[in-house]
Amino acid sequence: MDIFSYLVTNTNQVLGLLLDHIRLTVIAVGLAILVGVPLGILISYIKSLSRPILGITNLIQAIPSMALLGFAIPLLGIGTVPAVVVVFLYSLLPIIKNTYIGILQINPQLIEAARGIGMTRFNILYKIQIPLTLPILMAGVRISSVTAVGLMTIAAFIGAGGLGFLVFSGISSVNTAMILAGAIPACILALTVDWILSLVEDLVTPMSLRPGVLKNKKKEKQQRRIKKLIIAGTFCVLLGVFGGNIYQTYYQTSNIIRIGSKQFSEQLVLGNLLKELIEAKTDLKVESHFGAGGTQVLFSALKNGDIDMYVDYTGTILVDILKHSPETNEKQVYKICSNEMKNKHNILLLSPLNFNNTYALAVSQQTAAQYHLSTISDLANVAPFLQAGTTLEFLNRQDGLPGLEQAYNFSFANVTGIDGSNRYIALENGNVSVVDAFTTDGLLKKFNLHILEDDKHFFPPYYAVPLIRSDILKKHPELRGIIASLDTKLTNTTMQELNYQVDELHQDPADVAHQFLVKEGLI
């Protein structure tokens, strides 16, 4: 599907995410202006504060955005708040610095003359310093705003929405049209924001600082009128965006349940299955936080009350959350997970779904034939000559590569961390020879990969299981039965086919979920 077809087919989704992106960016940059301008004025008056304040904002700018987001999640949870806070912090430096520099570059003799005629410090600031600083200050605001539009794509990592959702979903499913559907509107939005702010800059810049303007007053008045109309129209659009969001938040979603998901295709499909099933069978409104992050992000959000439910996997809960050693008995794994999650975290495990999305190692058909590979034990004999590309999570989990190498007594010649679908592309291009995979991954079918048998049964069972806070289930006990209707419907083969429809056929996860529920007679 090309970009134009995708935009036509998914117009409502793209527009919704665009409005989310605008809302988040306006909040972040607006806060940065409210904080940054006073700080810039303050350090221009109290010189001793300039070095520490500029030093701190420079330091924040130097921290990688994903690292700063990682620090914010444990404190602020997931969703809008941490995304806005991170972008707000990154937006401060240009605004503070340009305000400070703008005030310092004003001719000191002009300030002395103002004092000489009896003007107070506030009058000097309000009538002289701020007007003369505005061109430089607005340049800082423009830089911050354009940067914020691009940086706000990280909001998708923690379920806050925005155009980054399309970009990262497209990367995970190797869907170029989806990537462009997120990237192109973000680029246009950044250029539009810069243009609108340039109009604001022209309007607020004093006439005396614009040589040649006074020679053609009539033309200038017409241009100013047009600029004011454009800015007023933009303001009305923003009022509509925020007004609609406030209405939806406080009036339309009073009876809600918040469902999260991880970032890969299967999780997006599962999240949409739960969303549509619950909304069809109850009067609840589902607030979706799909693609909100990895295991620890979602578990922390569930534990802290930022979300009410999400689907995880029994093996992941056992090893990554509860920190147990891998266990291969599926009933024992579920029992341990169920008991400890309830007793330690007040989180309940519902009935597991009927598919086991366990880890696997996969190679191309050519590599399998060349080295006669059918099991991981076969791979262990030739691993020192091969390069592997694995997800970062698999690279660092005890039920991932570290434990696997220990159990089979081998190590690869080189291992590269490659998240998402990019590892499959690296395998197809010959950059790596082995990748980690999930047994229900639709990309296995797309790339026609050979899955190696785990002949020593190292990987624990990874049955998908809905996690829900006990207070939510107590409030809405009907959810147990509604979600249980999925138990026998989702087999390994079925789940791989649903994933294939997203990954290869580039269908929207919501559409895939809807078609499946209709086909199975669940809605």
Domain edges within the chain? 3-193, 256-355+464-491+507-519, 359-452
What does DSSP assign to residue 10? T
Per-residue pLDDT reduced to its tens digit, 232-243: 777 777 777 666
Backbone phi, then psi, for 121, in 5-degree steps? -60, -40
State how beta strands 387-390 and 434-438 pair: parallel
* Between 248 and 517, the higher pLDDT residue: 517
Per-residue pLDDT band for 175 (boundaries 50, 70, 90) equals: confident
> What percent of the chain shows pLDDT beyond 90?
38
pLDDT at residue 244 in the model = 60
C-beta separation of 388 from 437 below 8 A: no
pLDDT of 2 above 90: no
C-beta separation of 288 from 484 below 8 A: no
CA distances (Å), 319 to each of 92, 214, 325, 326, 333, in order? 40, 73, 6, 6, 10
Per-residue pLDDT band for 444 (boundaries 50, 70, 90) equals: confident
pLDDT of 319 above 80: yes
pLDDT of 66 above 80: no
Phi/psi-derived region of residue 453, left when phi > 0, alpha when psi is between -120 and 50, beta in every other case: beta
Give the integer Cα–Cα distance in Å for 294 and 316: 11
CA distances (Å), 383 to each of 156, 408, 434, in order? 36, 11, 9
Mean pLDDT for 301-313 is 90
- Neighbour order of strands in the sheet with 309-313: 285-289, 256-260, 309-313, 464-469, 347-349
* Between 306 and 313, the higher pLDDT residue: 313
pLDDT of 336 above 70: yes
User: Residue 459 in 3-state DSSP?
Assistant: coil
What does DSSP assign to residue 466? E
The answer to whether the 256-355+464-491+507-519 and 359-452 domains have the same CATH topology is: yes
Give the integer Cα–Cα distance in Å for 271 and 265: 10
For all residues of the chain together, what is the average pLDDT?
Answer: 85
Mean pLDDT for 283-311 is 85
For the record, the structure tokens of 290 come out as 């799909």
Backbone phi, then psi, for 346, in 5-degree steps? 60, 35
Topology of the domain covering 3-193: MetI-like fold (1.10.3720)
From the centroid of its chain, how far is CA 67?
A: 13
Mean pLDDT for 370-375 is 93
From the centroid of its chain, how far is CA 459?
A: 29
Buried b (16+ CB within 10 A) or exposed e, 125-143: beebbbebbbbbbbbbbbb
Q: Pick one of 2.102.10.10, 3.10.690.10, 3.40.190.10, 3.20.20.210 as the CATH number of 256-355+464-491+507-519.
A: 3.40.190.10
Per-residue pLDDT reduced to its tens digit, 77-86: 777 888 889 8
pLDDT at residue 249 in the model = 52
* Between 115 and 70, the higher pLDDT residue: 115
Closest of 86, 80, 70 to residue 29, by C-alpha: 86
pLDDT of 404 above 80: yes
Residue 1 CA neighbour count, 13 Å, CB half: 24
C-beta separation of 460 from 415 below 8 A: no
Closest of 93, 97, 63, 67 to residue 82, by C-alpha: 67
pLDDT of 212 above 70: no
pLDDT at residue 264 in the model = 81
pLDDT at residue 519 in the model = 93
> What percent of the chain shows pLDDT beyond 70?
92
Mean pLDDT for 32-39 is 94
The distance between the two most distant Cα atoms of the chain, rounded to a whole number of Å, is 92
CA distances (Å), 305 to each of 65, 75, 302, 345, 381, in order? 25, 13, 5, 11, 48
* Between 26 and 237, the higher pLDDT residue: 26
Domain 359-452: which CATH class?
A: alpha beta
Mean pLDDT for 249-264 is 73
What interhelical angle do 176-204 and 217-247 show, nearest 10?
130
Beta strands in 245-307 (DSSP E): 256-260, 285-289
pLDDT of 169 above 90: no
Mean pLDDT for 258-274 is 90
